[in-house]
Amino acid sequence: MESSSGLCDNECLATVRCQELRSGVKEPRLLSLILENGDFVLGVLATPDAVVSRPVAQLSIPINARFELVQEAEEPLLINFSENSALRIRIKGERAPELQLELQDDDRTNLFLTQLKSAQEEAALKLIKSKPMEPLPPNAHRSPVPIPPQRAAGRSAANQPASSGSLQTGFNSSTSTNQNTDPVQSLASDFGFEQNFCHALKVEEKKNHQNRITASREPPPVPSLPPRKTPSAPTNPVPPAPIMKSKATSSVGFDTSAISGAKSESLSWCDSPTSNSMRDTVFLSQTGQREILLKHIMSKRENEYVDIKNFRFFVGTWNVNGRSPDSSLGPWLSSDREPPDIYAIGFQELDLSKEAFLYMDSSKEQLWIDAVERNLHPKAKYKIIQIIRLVGMMLVVAVKKNYVRSIKEVASDHVGTGILGKMGNKGGVAVRFVFYNTSFCFVNSHLAAKLEETERRNQDYKDICARMIFNMPGSPSLSIVKHDVVIWLGDLNYRLFNKDCGDVKRMISEGKLKQLLKFDQLSIQRQTKRAFSDFIEGEINFIPTYKYEPKTDLWDSSSKNRVPAWCDRILWRGNKVELIEYRSHMELKTSDHKPVSSIFKIGVKVSDEQRMKKVFEETVRQIDRMENDFLPSVSLSKTEFFFIDVKFRQLQRERFLITNDGQVPCHFAFIPKCNQSQYCKSWLRAEPSDGFLEPKETLEIYLEVYVSKDSVTMLNSGEDIIEDILILHLDRGKDFFLTISGNYLPSCFGTSLETLTRMKKPIREIPITKLIDLEKSKVKFLIGDGAANEDRPLKIPKEVWIMVNHLYTKSCDQEDLFQTPGLQEELQHIIECLDTSIPDSIPGCNHSVAEALLIFLEALPEPVVCYELYQRCLECAHDSRLCKQLISLLPRAHRNVFRYLLAFLKELLKHSHNNNLTASLIATLFASLLIRPPPSSASRQTQQDRQKAIDFVLGFLMAGDEE
């Protein structure tokens, strides 16, 4: 059945975007002219920018005799930009409140209003026709409601001939031939797609057909229209969409709101699972997608509107050997005539006390901050914009006060590379920010010590690069390398290879520094691309900065007789960076290190506002044309992935290529499945997880599988398997489904103590079905004393005995035991050895075995002191008698492991003069592993709770042997 307008029933005839005015607050809306069962209806859709993820029901206003549309008088503006001119209307209707709306005064809006007027008049005509006793007016015959013309036809609505029967209301009007239009096509044409949209949509539907069969998804339920807000309530902005991660320059430095005057209202992928059906319904209603594309294109054209302006940066590093400032820092911080624009000052070994090592506050922090503030260059005024400290490492960033407003997006992070990857005696701290349009990252690190630990230093560097992540509200996470300029400073601790101390001192006195630098470990690691391979370092013309007798310029004369070395270094990566000075400062004698500094002249991108606005306007028009003419399209080289023999803590990677085979830039992102907050399981990661592709550009995406302590238990018990489906979403395009599968090899790490005591063989020799049965029935074996000998469980897991026995027999006198991290390769060999055999000896150094024991305890699904006794443990920490009673309440395996470990740790303390261990250090380290709060309350654990757990362990360590 057709209406008099010649259009089919239940059709969306036209749409237009607008804003509803509520007590001065503007809220986005989408108006739709709908033909519903032969009657015209005006649909009002709330929050159109978020409709894909959070669709809101329409407010349907019948267009009948009670429908009123009134255009308000235009208010005079002091500054009138023609592209932003707007008109206001008031709408009244049946079963609806009065709405005051603001629309853009353009051809699309005028055409929509003309159609709305025509529909109103046709509704009035139908009402007249329904009354046969009343004569029809002369102009009763109406033309069909005009359909929006396609932009590709080459004529705007303003150039169309006016409908003969339309009212002269001041709006542009147009007519079109009668045609049947589906809602998707109507929306697409209204938002600027080309005339050939139907053909393009059919092509996309054909591409999507297989995906819909593979993993169909129902659209989310439709909530009701949101209630009106009070005048004081602001609108709820939609979270900004992720910006490109694959190229750092587009992730920072350009803010379109500076031009458009509006906040970004784009979507957050982690919160917005989409479906093809919802996307088809509102194909281009997400302004966030345009915002992403706009930023991307603007970054590509930034050379058209930015100028390079040089700024002066001071970068300094000093290992202060735990000492307090005892002299002026002026010879280091303000020795140049010209004051720097920005300071980045790094300290190491700020505090060597055990309290600082155990993450407690350091009283020396403020002393050094005050010393820095007093000694910044006297010819300028500075403001500290960020300070970050991890144990003895501290980084201070200060900026000239007149440039503070040009600093934005400041963030910081820290990474401990000590034992378990947590302890902060070694590691790095970093600060990042955007200065004008250039992003900077400063990293201050203290890497592993000792001449022979080159590989451990390389590992520290890689760990910092991998784990240093900057999280900023409303933006994706950024790693170190995703910045325009990165400057790395600190006590990197690289030494001189195989050089006798006497020979080194002689060559220094003879000025043979270049010959000596041939043996520099850092230079060799960079040349062989084992560490810092993409960083640059200036020419070293100063003598080694380590090791001196404190308060003097004399080399170390202690029994250790340290070989002099260039431990303190400054390196950089990035463009438009010129090194002016690279020097040491021998005048400062507080520490056994000498401070080092660099002066850089760095070219910073500064925007020209007028040129940027011109490029911005051109880019907006370019995006309009691209949306008008093309749909994005990509191809994937592979969609099915199988990971063979996945193991605990062993990374596996597979890659595939994504190619933009379309004609427009496109944005892709992995998105969560319905009712899930993350796009993948905890053992899986995609890198990059979103990004931009230019036409014909190809990008490598890596899928990484890594089973950590957080996922190993579920995989060991069979509650989870290596299977997942990833959804790769293409803005304005199709969804791709990637199938992930693999086989997992169980590990004794992450398996419960009860289950391990029932296993006489290595875990890999036990059938997976029996392993699952053991895990499910472990409650039956908590006592186990009355079982037959062949079924009687072990007193403690054999894996615990093997590791502790190794440490007891070989490591009691090992220096810095449980303070120096193991090597990753050795840790993997140890884990594999325990999973596959019952070895007579364990491969790897003592530090690796020690960390393996800590990893084992950390990965236990139930800690040695069970979750249900956690609170009682804290309550009785002050009373040794109550503590012993509580241990007696533990299940048999847990009780035996606790007593066995404490006996071993007490033995270690007898050798503290060699291994440098103290009771407080051991108690702090092991309390966090043996006594853990239940996962549900872990976030609420206080420092007081941690101290009680430490006291609980400390009581057993300090008790006599008879205890």
The tens digit of pLDDT for each residue in 213-266 reads 333 333 333 333 333 333 333 333 333 333 333 333 333 334 444 443 333 333
CA 674 to each of CA 275, 284, 475, 486: distance values in angstroms, whole numbers, following the listed order: 9, 21, 22, 39
pLDDT digits (tens, 9 = 90+) for 759-805: 989 999 988 888 777 776 654 444 344 445 556 889 999 999 999 99
Rounded distance, CA 800 to CA 584, Å? 49
Tokens of 366: 């403020």
Contact 259, 613 (CB under 8 A): yes
**What sign has the CA pseudo-torsion 881, 885, 886, 887?**
positive
The DSSP bridge pattern shows strands 393-400 and 666-671 to be: unpaired
pLDDT digits (tens, 9 = 90+) for 601-659: 999 999 999 999 999 999 888 887 777 667 889 999 999 999 999 999 999 999 999 99
pLDDT at 338: 97
pLDDT digits (tens, 9 = 90+) for 846-879: 999 999 999 999 999 999 999 999 999 999 999 9
pLDDT at 636: 97
Burial 598-629 (b: 16+ CB within 10 A, else e): bbbebbbbbbeeeebeebbeebbebbeebbbb
Neighbours of 957 (CB within 10 A): 17
Secondary structure class of 291 (helix, strand, coil): helix
CA angle 369–374–380, rounded 5-degree value: 115
Burial 796-820 (b: 16+ CB within 10 A, else e): bbbbbebbbebbeeebbebebbbbb
pLDDT at 525: 97
Rounded distance, CA 401 to CA 411, Å? 19
Closest CA to 683 of 652, 654, 658: 652
Secondary structure class of 528 (helix, strand, coil): coil
Beta bridge partners of 439: 434
What contacts 24+ positions apart, CB below 8 Å, involve 513-521? 513/540, 513/541, 513/543, 517/566, 520/494, 520/496, 520/565, 520/566, 521/454, 521/457, 521/494, 521/495, 521/496, 521/497
pLDDT digits (tens, 9 = 90+) for 697-709: 999 999 999 999 9
The DSSP bridge pattern shows strands 438-446 and 485-491 to be: parallel
Beta bridge partners of 546: 565, 593
Q: Averaged over 508-529, what is the pLDDT?
A: 96
pLDDT at 7: 37
Grade residue 425 by pLDDT with cuts at 50, 70 and 90. Answer: confident
Sheet of 698-705: strand order equals 634-636, 652-660, 698-705, 684-687
What contacts 24+ positions apart, CB below 8 Å, involve 353-362? 353/322, 354/918, 354/920, 354/921, 356/391, 356/392, 357/391, 357/423, 357/424, 357/425, 357/921, 358/920, 358/921, 358/924, 359/391, 359/424, 362/389, 362/391, 362/392
Rounded distance, CA 191 to CA 104, Å? 13
pLDDT digits (tens, 9 = 90+) for 519-557: 999 999 999 999 999 999 999 999 999 999 999 999 998
Grade residue 80 by pLDDT with cuts at 50, 70 and 90. Answer: very low
Strongest mean pLDDT among 42-46, 284-288, 392-396: 392-396
pLDDT at 358: 58
Tokens of 325: 């400032």
Q: Averaged over 932-960, what is the pLDDT?
A: 91
Closest CA to 110 of 156, 141, 74, 143: 156
Secondary structure class of 869 (helix, strand, coil): helix
Given a cut of 70, is residue 165 above it in pLDDT? no
Contact 445, 464 (CB under 8 A): yes
**What sign has the CA pseudo-torsion 749, 755, 760, 765?**
negative
Note if the pTM is more than 0.85: no
pLDDT at 359: 52
Q: Averaged over 282-297, what is the pLDDT?
A: 63
Q: Averaged over 45-69, what is the pLDDT?
A: 66
pLDDT at 288: 61
Secondary structure class of 545 (helix, strand, coil): coil
**What sign has the CA pseudo-torsion 814, 930, 683, 698?**
negative
Per DSSP (E only), the strands in 706-792 are 723-730, 735-744
Mean pLDDT, the chain, whole residue set: 80
Can you say whether residue 229 is alpha, beta or left, with left for phi > 0 and alpha for psi between -120 and 50 degrees?
Answer: beta
pLDDT digits (tens, 9 = 90+) for 88-135: 888 888 877 888 888 887 778 888 888 888 888 888 777 766 555 444
Neighbours of 75 (CB within 10 A): 7
Please report, for the chain, how many H helices and E strands are present, in that order.
26, 30
CA atoms within 13 Å, Cβ hemisphere of 19? 14
Given a cut of 80, is residue 695 above it in pLDDT? yes
The secondary structure of 75-123 as a DSSP string is PP-SS--GGG-EEEEEEEETTEEEEEEEEE-SHHHHHHHHHHHHHHHHH
Secondary structure class of 716 (helix, strand, coil): helix
Secondary structure class of 688 (helix, strand, coil): coil
pLDDT digits (tens, 9 = 90+) for 562-597: 999 999 999 999 999 999 999 999 999 999 999 999
Instruction: Give the DSSP letter of residue 270.
Output: G
pLDDT at 32: 86
Contact 895, 829 (CB under 8 A): no
